[in-house]
Amino acid sequence: MSGDRIPKSATGPVRSDLDSSALFGARIRMIRHGWAYFEDYPFQERFLRLDGLEIHYVDEGYGGRTVLMVHGNPAWSYIWRRLIPRVSAEYRVLAFDLMGFGKSDKPHPGLHDFPHHARIVSGFIESLGLRNITLVAHDWGATFAMQYVVRHPANVSGLVLMNTFLTTDFRIPPAAAAKISPATIKSSCLHPENISDSAMEAYWSPFPDDDAKKSYQAFARMFPDSLTHPSYKPMKEIEQALPNLKIPTSIIWGTAHGGAAYAEKLAKTIPGAKLHPVNAGHFVQEDTPAEVEKLVIDSLDGTAIAGLENELNPSSSSKPGRVDLES
């Protein structure tokens, strides 16, 4: 499939009917209330149909390289609103909403598991024919996307990971995980003044009722607590592949509430990974936006240089096992 984007429409959202097999038993709810305008989020709506669900995304910029941004729980692509304009000045930038979040369809809560979310990430990349991707991802978004990365390393030119978990031994106390909501995005920040009331309205808008809130509440049960848990096998696959990754990697980590030791562990596990501790909470994009923007841009520029060197000298490329996604 060609990597050309879907042409922009003069008015209204852009849609693509690239459909996969429907998710059985899905109860779809499209939430539209209050979406006429969100602070600092002027991007055109686009939709892609995957697994019977309408997945919302934005597609900005026309650079020669492609940056894919994947949010975590309980956010949506709105969390990248400050980064998108800056990055799209030099690169093509895509950011989509996980199923159940943002402007994407809301499936039955029982369908929120690792395999389904990871399949949406993979389907998004392959349906749009994205090539030579640099992944910028946070929290669960990075976890889901890493399954694609370890299976298709030749199609990934760089990684920028933020406060995520990529091993089966990562734990959050169940009681704490159950309390996570959009309010946590602000309450966990060292600098809550960086998040306006309008921004918090944007984070709450996808969850106007108890049924919609089940999307983010489902994630408390997604940490693998046994060998038979649906998340265990895919996370083990990622964990075992990390020491063999040969992709330029930056890890941006808000250390205000702990996790520094885990970040150091990840940085030591992924060959050549560069760790950038930040004095911020879990949602580093909101807590210290200027610092995170600089770190992301520096990481992307470094990845671009590494990619150019590999193109000029293919024999020195460190990417093993190229996967032909055209087949």
Range of the domain at 249: 14-316
Q: Identify whether the C-beta of residue 37 lies closer than 8 Å to the C-beta of residue 85.
A: no
* pLDDT value, residue 172: 83
* pLDDT value, residue 103: 95
* Residue 6, in any domain of the structure: no
* Residue 9, in any domain of the structure: no
Could you tell me which residues are beta bridge partners of residue 142?
Answer: none
3-state secondary structure (DSSP) of residue 308: helix
* Residue 191, in any domain of the structure: yes
* Residue 321, in any domain of the structure: no
> How distant, in Å, are the alpha carbons of 80, 224, 227 from that of 237?
28, 13, 13
> How distant, in Å, are the alpha carbons of 100, 102, 214 from that of 209?
13, 14, 9
φ and ψ of 161, to 5 deg: -110, 140
Whole-number Å distance between alpha carbons of 251 and 158: 11
* Residue 4, in any domain of the structure: no
Structure tokens at 234: 């895919």
* Residue 203, in any domain of the structure: yes
Whole-number Å distance between alpha carbons of 49 and 4: 17
Whole-number Å distance between alpha carbons of 144 and 138: 10
* pLDDT value, residue 59: 98
* Residue 132, in any domain of the structure: yes
Q: Identify whether the C-beta of residue 137 lies closer than 8 Å to the C-beta of residue 156.
A: no
pTM: 0.85
Cα 220–289–87 angle (5° rounding)? 100
* pLDDT value, residue 17: 44
* pLDDT value, residue 173: 79
Q: pLDDT tens for the chain, 327 residues: list them.
A: 434 454 343 334 554 444 433 333 344 444 454 455 688 899 999 999 999 999 999 999 998 899 999 999 999 999 999 999 999 999 999 999 999 999 999 998 889 999 999 999 999 999 999 999 999 999 999 999 999 999 999 999 999 999 999 999 988 877 888 899 999 999 999 999 999 999 999 999 999 999 999 999 999 999 998 999 999 999 999 999 999 999 999 999 999 988 999 999 999 999 999 999 999 999 999 999 999 999 999 999 986 555 545 544 554 444 333 333 332
* pLDDT value, residue 153: 98
Of residues 93, 61, 95, the one with CA closest to residue 75: 95
Of residues 102, 68, 101, 105, the one with CA closest to residue 87: 68
Residue type, 275: L
Q: Identify whether the C-beta of residue 49 lies closer than 8 Å to the C-beta of residue 19.
A: yes
3-state secondary structure (DSSP) of residue 267: helix
* pLDDT value, residue 14: 53
| CATH number reported for the structural domain that contains residue 151 in this entry | 3.40.50.1820
Q: Identify whether the C-beta of residue 103 lies closer than 8 Å to the C-beta of residue 56.
A: yes
Count of domains in the chain?
1
Whole-number Å distance between alpha carbons of 194 and 175: 27
* Residue 95, in any domain of the structure: yes
3-state secondary structure (DSSP) of residue 133: strand
φ and ψ of 55, to 5 deg: -105, 120
